[in-house]
Structure 1
Amino acid sequence: MEGIITQFGILFLLMALFIFEGLFKLVPLYAIIAEVYSLYLDSQKKVPQQKELAKNQKLTWQELKKHDNQSSAYVAIKGKVYDVTSFLNSHPGGREFLLLNCGRDASLAFQSYHPFSEKPEKLLEKYLIGDLITTEWPTFKPDSGFYKECADRVKKYFQSKGINPKTPIPGLIRAIPLWTCFFYTFYLTFIDDSFCLTKRILIGTIFGILQALNTLHLMHDASHGAVGNNEKWWWFFGRLTLDYISGSSMLAWQNQHVIGHHQYTNIMGSDPDIPQLKEGDVRRLVKEQIWCAMYKYQHLYMPILYGLLSLRSRYYDVFEIFLKETDGPVKVNPISIQDKLRQASSKLLWLFWRYYLPVQVFGMSQSQFWFLFIYVEFITGYWLAINFQVSHVSDEAEFFYNNMDKVAKNGTNEQWPIEWAVLQIKSSVDYSHGNWLMTYLCGALNYQVIHHLFPGVSQYLYPEIAPIVLEVCKKYNLKYNLLPGFKEAWNGHFNHLKNMGKQNKFVGFAKME
């Protein structure tokens, strides 16, 4: 009931601010009050006392799912179930990261975020309460040695060079000039009326690109806990860049990207970034999807629709993540009152500086504002979507299928015949290695394989460790999808859209082997 009241209160406040524009003047004050009150609620989180844990329990995935909150937090790792309720506040990776993974099988997150140490696994032993007897989705084959060798070699490299894998320095050095240019181009586009519309459009193009870079750099690393070794760093920079500056939601992004996409990359039915159903989607990316006539033109209309990504993210997080508490196949764990307050305050503050200041304070005409606003957001959407798409939706990448028709309602004990790390190699595409400019412009997404194998490592270290992973791939006879440049990466994406749009394209999925 309390959560419902809060949701309606937030919606009422938003409506009131739109109806009574004069209230917008109070938005900064409201945002400060909401943030302070949220911090107060955070400080009141009690540390649960260590209780005597019941051992040898046998839990189904449905039973595990019930323990998804701070009062009762269970995680499943490699078939074992742990009660980490009393560990939440002392988790080195932060309370919020652990809560994101509670109530579900966290094996893949545990593996990819603790690749350089065996201490976490040993530490968990005292929280063991039993076994997970069924899983919601099939599990992956155990590591044959490929991922461990990659991790061991990368760890050895970092140690030999004295490198902190989460060093925040490169990101902060790049953030200062990026933010300076970002706000200056915003001023020239939306505030300064000395420029004609044509010049504002040109400057707005730069602003749109900078807005995308803002999320591709510091925010992206922060969402993976790859900026410094403290949760406060991640949440401050992540929420500053994505929530307050970009008007989206760090929490929503983590549910979709960190929990969904990274763990089940390119698996239809599990990865929220690709179509979930066999029919009804605007695009056909996987062979199992039922063909319809409009797909013949998807290579023409989809690149145009990519511009909507930025606008879509501004409402999707509210109506899907915060209200429905779901993201496609991904279950969203209970959202705290303070996170809902932060979501409302950040949206309002974003509206304040993006709309209220230019139009109400500095007198920009509504028509010119909305034209430039939509134009800028399309530029941002294109920049983000194209960089995301070429890395996975490509003729060079493989797609797989989570056949939910075969998974019983009470769970499964099936295992996909592929290792998780091998899946990341097969479903990701790299390009432009060694090109520092391209690496900067795409936020190191041109090292997609490295990012998926080691998401908790700073993106500015990817060029250094990519040769190590390439070498291990050769040893294990694994094809590393590496293209010469962005042109080839784009062609791979375009060709995939075109091929999947053909009516006579074979219907079936790549085998997981």
Structure 2
Amino acid sequence: MATRLKFSKTSKSPFWATLRERVDAYFSQRAISPHANGAMWTKALFFLLGYGLIYGLILSDQFGPWPILGLAVLLGVFAACIGFNVSHDALHGAFSAHLWVNNLLGGSFYLLGANPYVWKITHNLVHHTFTNIPGHDEDIELAPGLVRLDPQEPLRPWHRYQQWYTFPLYALASLSWVFRKDYVKFFKNRIGQHDTATHPRHEYIKLFVAKGLYYIFFLILPLVLLSLSWWQVLVGFLSMHMAEGLVLGLVFQLAHAVEGTSFPLPDEKGTIADSWAVHQLYTTANFAPLSRLAAFICGGLNRQIEHHLFPKICHIHYPAITVIVKRTAHEFGLPYLENPSFGSALYSHFRLLKTLGRLA
């Protein structure tokens, strides 16, 4: 059983109170909602309608194998972008002030072949609370024994090469999600320090019905409707998920597994040295903060510091509150980690993998 963790209540505690007051003042003084605005709704519709259009073009059977393959890859990219830009905000309750709107848009997660209920447990509850804490944050357990992101994990001979083989593994991430991960997480008795031995009956039904429908829409229907052989359909399905998995894997890892981020351990009493908010600054990093393209594609996940501190604020507002968060962190002598571009963050992740593959 995992150690029961708690965060320090004294370490830099004025930081969080000051920051919340300043961010709240930003919205109240401008009389704007922290939820989605017109630009956010436009972006959400772009990705949702684009996804539907691409899927329809594939099933129209009006194209040859190569164009369909290209559309399948594009569909995988759009699926990842829906996860970033629609599902993620909605499942955090950040898209709208209305629960039914968040629940409806959170259902877009099914378009990725993933389960919203399981995600809320593993991501919202566990990852956001115990970020980068070995034995508690399962997001740093990419492929236990194969990829070493936890400095406490035993060093194996093959880890010396993990900076090379880990990136291709990211391309398998969504395939694992569709066929394995959700089932494994759903039937675990405990995730982190959360008891997950029982679930509401309707969640069992939704898990299996949604998975079944996904297999029908993305495997059975293409086999029936397209003038392609079974192996060509399979290649298209795998290509779609490899594109989706690579985009998802890279964006999420560049936020917590780059140089400078820490992997803190609790003391003998199970206490983390820092308060929760300060802990987020030590374990999270931004990338490409000035790139409009990164902000559009990544759904604000290139500004993970702001997201981890204020997950219930829609990501469309992150560029504005970034100024407040960064200034306040510096006032309190706290780190604010960021890589100037996607490429620099990618290289930093590569170097961290290389370091963890050599140092015990």
Give the TM-score band, short-chain normalised.
over 0.9
Work out the CA distance in 2 between the residues paired with 1:429 and 1:321: 26
Deviation string, structure 1 residues 272-310 (Cα, Å, up to 9, x no partner): 111399xx6211123222111000110011101001110
Query: 1:16-165 residue pairs with structure 2 within 5 A?
Result: 136-142=4-10, 144-165=13-34
Alignment check: 8 A CA contact 1:269 1:276 kept: no
Shift of 1:141: 3.0
Equivalence for 1:32:
none
Equivalence for 1:114:
none
When residues 276 and 430 of structure 1 are mapped into structure 2, their CA distance, relative to the original with a 3 A threshold, is closer
Equivalence for 2:42:
173
Alignment check: 8 A CA contact 2:61 2:227 kept: no
Is 1:207 the counterpart of 2:104 in the alignment? Answer: no
Deviation string, structure 1 residues 84-112 (Cα, Å, up to 9, x no partner): xxxxxxxxxxxxxxxxxxxxxxxxxxxxx
Is 1:308 the counterpart of 2:164 in the alignment? Answer: no
Query: 1:427-442 residue pairs with structure 2 within 5 A?
Result: 427-442=283-298
Deviation string, structure 1 residues 381-425 (Cα, Å, up to 9, x no partner): 00000000111011121111247xx5xxxxx5x432211111111
Alignment check: 8 A CA contact 2:7 2:274 kept: no
Gaps of 5+ in 1: 1-61, 63-134, 407-411, 508-513
Work out the CA distance in 1 between the residues paired with 2:241 and 2:73: 9
Moved more, 477-486 or 348-357: 348-357
Equivalence for 2:343:
487
Q: Choose the corresponding residue for 1:251, options 117, 126, 136.
A: 117
Work out the CA distance in 2 between the residues paired with 1:215 and 1:443: 8
Shift of 1:263: 0.2
SS of the residue 1:267 aligns to: coil
Work out the CA distance in 2 between the residues paired with 1:251 and 1:171: 24
Deviation string, structure 1 residues 249-268 (Cα, Å, up to 9, x no partner): 00111111011110010110
When residues 336 and 361 of structure 1 are mapped into structure 2, their CA distance, relative to the original with a 3 A threshold, is same
Instruction: In structure 2, give the amino acid aligned to 1:288.
Output: Q
Is 1:242 the counterpart of 2:85 in the alignment? Answer: no
Identity, % of aligned positions: 25
SS of the residue 2:8 aligns to: strand
SS of the residue 1:400 aligns to: coil
Alignment check: 8 A CA contact 1:191 1:364 kept: no
When residues 221 and 499 of structure 1 are mapped into structure 2, their CA distance, relative to the original with a 3 A threshold, is same
Is 1:424 the counterpart of 2:241 in the alignment? Answer: no
Deviation string, structure 1 residues 138-165 (Cα, Å, up to 9, x no partner): 4333452101111100110101111111
Alignment check: 8 A CA contact 2:261 2:285 kept: yes
Q: Choose the corresponding residue for 2:129, options 257, 263, 270.
A: 263
Query: 1:252-331 residue pairs with structure 2 within 5 A?
Result: 252-275=118-141, 281-327=145-191, 330-331=194-195
SS of the residue 2:61 aligns to: coil
Shift of 1:343: 1.8
Q: Choose the corresponding residue for 1:223, options 91, 104, 110.
A: 91
SS of the residue 2:243 aligns to: helix
SS of the residue 2:272 aligns to: strand
Work out the CA distance in 1 between the residues paired with 2:155 and 2:216: 44
Shift of 1:168: 5.7
Aligned residues: 358
Equivalence for 1:194:
62
Is 1:475 the counterpart of 2:331 in the alignment? Answer: yes
Work out the CA distance in 2 between the residues paired with 1:418 and 1:307: 35
Alignment check: 8 A CA contact 1:252 1:317 kept: no
Q: Of the two, which has the highest radius of gyration?
A: 1
Alignment check: 8 A CA contact 2:266 2:273 kept: no
Work out the CA distance in 2 between the residues paired with 1:317 and 1:497: 23
Is 1:460 the counterpart of 2:324 in the alignment? Answer: no
Work out the CA distance in 2 between the residues paired with 1:309 and 1:275: 12
Work out the CA distance in 2 between the residues paired with 1:141 and 1:162: 32
Work out the CA distance in 1 between the residues paired with 2:154 and 2:88: 34
Two-structure CA RMSD over aligned residues (Å): 2.1
Work out the CA distance in 1 between the residues paired with 2:9 and 2:28: 30
Query: 1:7-22 residue pairs with structure 2 within 5 A?
Result: none
Shift of 1:351: 2.0
- If the length of structure 1 is used for normalisation, what is the TM-score? 0.66
Shift of 1:362: 4.1
Instruction: In structure 1, give the amino acid aligned to 2:23.
Output: V
Alignment check: 8 A CA contact 2:287 2:303 kept: yes
Shift of 1:449: 0.3
Tell which has more relative contact order, 1 or 2 (C-alpha 8 A, sep 6+).
2
Moved more, 190-199 or 295-304: 190-199
Instruction: In structure 1, give the amino acid aligned to 2:258.
Output: S
Work out the CA distance in 1 between the residues paired with 2:342 and 2:301: 11
Shift of 1:210: 0.4
Instruction: In structure 1, give the amino acid aligned to 2:113.
Output: G
Instruction: In structure 2, give the amino acid aligned to 1:367.
Output: W
Deviation string, structure 1 residues 120-177 (Cα, Å, up to 9, x no partner): xxxxxxxxxxxxxxx8224333452101111100110101111111236443221222
Work out the CA distance in 2 between the residues paired with 1:329 and 1:205: 37
SS of the residue 2:131 aligns to: coil
Query: 1:327-346 residue pairs with structure 2 within 5 A?
Result: 327=191, 330-332=194-196, 334-346=198-210
Alignment check: 8 A CA contact 2:223 2:229 kept: yes
